[in-house]
Structure 1
């Protein structure tokens, strides 16, 4: 397939993509084996500009794959994160699912019987190469449907120049030290002492980091929702009263999205924030002299790191199991996994690529993040209700910390909705 032809199925309005899907996706179930096959894939964009769009990565990878596999063509459409989950959901609801989707959640599709399992797709070496914690996070009822594609952990980023200006000598290790550092930054005239992005873009991540730091989390050790646990309630009461209420976040957290916070840090306007590896490059491009440290917890450094994984999944609808498996074995080759991870400063999801990056001093800036990954806590992505719960958290997280907020009431409402969603999908 030529590059010009491939570009015909690119990003655009939902209606245009829907029309293209109707015209190009092949029909029914089964395992298509005859003739040439064109696989349709929808993927998320990890770039922050056209210059480093993920489309370039996929175009290069597909070109290499097609040169080695004459009977299989792959057409990849890359969409912004703001659109991609919704777009794939609408395609699946219309009965027009792509062969492959690279998005944020998989379990609801698995519960509906729409996905191939990992062992139906991948060779044994490819499946065995996933990091164990990530492979387990991709399971529903002990069968893996979600294929981890990219991962990250979080560290506290701080602006060394602003710290020096405020007389702060090192990164905070506890919430009280964090509050004191933020107060010193505010007194020194820093616009945003601490950026707390609880806006809808990625509030579920910021929320989980604070829950873990306070000894709580979304689920307990038997994977039941405990969103309104006493530990979580105390966490957001502290944020409301001791942090946001003291004016240490510079703006209403509920109106601040993650990318906006990252952009402000890269402009030198933010003293501290929780960040993932891609913030390093953005901060360097902005000329910000920054440091990184483990996330503070209630009494000291947070005992549990948060990990995030994005997922690949293969829909049964078009009956291209064999061809999809061939392509995915290629996608998960060590060189390709490492290329994507290094391109976007993300963490590889396979043992082979992780070991290679850990041994390469050129990736030393990622080592602290890599070291956290094996023992990190992940979203409860294996729960078929998680997609809905995540949407609820994104919508309501900002209201947890506003003046006069009732964290116990808000968290109880989210917990009740989560319990209903979990019951409904069983």
Structure 2
């Protein structure tokens, strides 16, 4: 996903120390004199300094011929920096990238195909789809899932109790019914901005639709399919049960500030937004609850957009074997559990969700992550988001425009952007 969105989606993480480079620990007792260094780029904020210290010490102990050189990068401007590094023979060996950025890097010929290792050593069948699918391109697995974060419903327990809503809804219809009960007097049943297109995407996926599809090598916008239109209609019904602005997204105004006023019953956001809410209104501490975005039935939660990171290996690196060992370790069970507990992330496999089972907010996020998806896996998708026709489409429909006609026009714009090269 784009860096700005990912920073919001990862607002729940702990702050990192200011150290920009964590060098390897040197030769350990019993290690070989012939040691090589694997250079790893990770993003600032993705892991704590304590986690990286633990990982480095353990990895070098287990791999007596390898040293780690972990260098922290900033999200701002990272796309161009990674593109340049992938063309450099002295570039990093392992790089953390946003899960939806993998396709564009593969398209430029800069990543190693890790399909064999994924199937043999990394348990790819159990990966979260929202991380695994965007890491796959043209038949190969280039991005290895590292961690995920996604939206849940944050709710005000006091307002639920006052409205007689005894438990969080588990289906869409229950959700609409509960929200209508909550939407009375001075209380908004839900605050949902008109252009929250990531949330809309989940409703469209639940209906079996998509934002765009690859048809025989040609990407086409698909907001005008019956499935996608049903997703938009549910969004319209839910959004009407609050006072979210139809012509703005969730950042204008920041939805955490709106919720902090105390008269909003529900909000769709990553759990970390609760921290911003409590900072604005300390009286809400201990009064916030969390549940997965409801699905169409009780069998499973609703689909959600999955943000997070994949690990990639630079094409042509002289340290391919060592780089793969680093990826295997970071993506393996031991360090996935450690990272999830340390940073309140969703691990890369559903079977590892027990690592966060004691935390209500993260457990709700993990339940939704099992139904997670990512944006269309086209190298050109960033161009769609740059002047997002989905947002404009949503505002038109919420303003009373003919939905099929507006969807057809938006789909045409998406197709034009994805066909550009």
With 327-336 and 176-185 compared, the bigger mean Cα shift is at 176-185
Task: After superposition, give the CA deviation of every residue in 1:305-338 in whole Å (9 maximum; x if it has no partner).
Answer: 3352532222226543233212212212312111
Change (3 A) 1:122 1:305: closer
- What residue is the counterpart of 2:78 in the other structure? 87
Q: Please give the alpha-carbon distance, in whole angstroms, between the structure 2 residues aligned to 1:149 and 1:326.
A: 14
Partner of 2:255: 261
2-side partners of 1:359 and 1:66: how far apart?
A: 25
Shifted more, 365-374 versus 315-324: the winner is 365-374
Shift of 1:399: 3.2
8 A Cα contact 1:162 1:185, kept in partner: yes
Q: Deviations over 1:17-47 (max 9, x none)?
A: xxxxxxxxxxxxxxxxx9643514042635x
The change in CA–CA distance for 1:194 and 1:221 in structure 2 (over 3 A counts) is farther
* Conservation of the 8 A alpha-carbon contact between 2:152 and 2:292: yes
1:65 aligns with 2:64: no
Q: Distance in 2 between matches of 1:256 and 1:380?
A: 18
* CA-to-aligned-CA distance 1:171-229 (integer Å, 9 cap, x gap): 45666654554454342323x43132566xxx442121232355533256979652222
Match of 2:201 among 204, 208, 218: 208
Matched residue, 1:160: 157
Matched, 1:74 2:60: no
Task: Measure how far apart 1:162 and its partner are.
Answer: 0.7
Q: Matched residue pairs, number? A: 377
What secondary structure does 1:207 align onto? helix
Task: Give the aligned partner of residue 341 of structure 2.
Answer: 342
C-alpha deviation, 1:77, in angstroms: 1.3
**Could you say if the C-alpha distance between residues 55 and 107 of structure 1 is closer, same or farther in structure 2, counting changes exceeding 3 Å?**
farther
Contact 2:203 2:231 in 1 (8 A): yes
Answer yes or no: is the 8 Å Cα contact 1:277–1:346 preserved in 2. no
Query: Which of 282, 297, 304 is 1:306 aligned to?
Result: 304
Task: Note closer, same or farther for the CA distance 1:355–1:91 as it changes in structure 2 (3 Å cut).
Answer: closer
When the two chains are superposed, the root-mean-square deviation of aligned CA atoms in Å is 4.4
Distance (whole Å) between structure 2 residues aligned to residue 363 and residue 301 of structure 1: 22
Aligned pair in 2 of structure 1 residues 184, 363: CA closer, same or farther (>3 Å)? Answer: closer
CA distance in 1, matches of 2:241, 2:364: 31
More helix as a share of residues: 1
Q: CA deviation at 1:142?
A: 1.9
Aligned to 2:331: 332
What are the ranges of 5 or more consecutive residues in structure 1 without an aligned counterpart?
11-33, 47-52
Q: Deviations over 1:50-107 (max 9, x none)?
A: xxx6455334423443455564232231435xx3xx4233441574664412323201
Residues in 2 aligned to 1:196 and 1:149: alpha-carbon distance in whole angstroms: 30
Instruction: Name the CA distance, whole Å, in 2 between partners of 1:373 and 1:257.
Output: 23
Gaps of 5+ in 2: 1-16, 23-33, 279-283
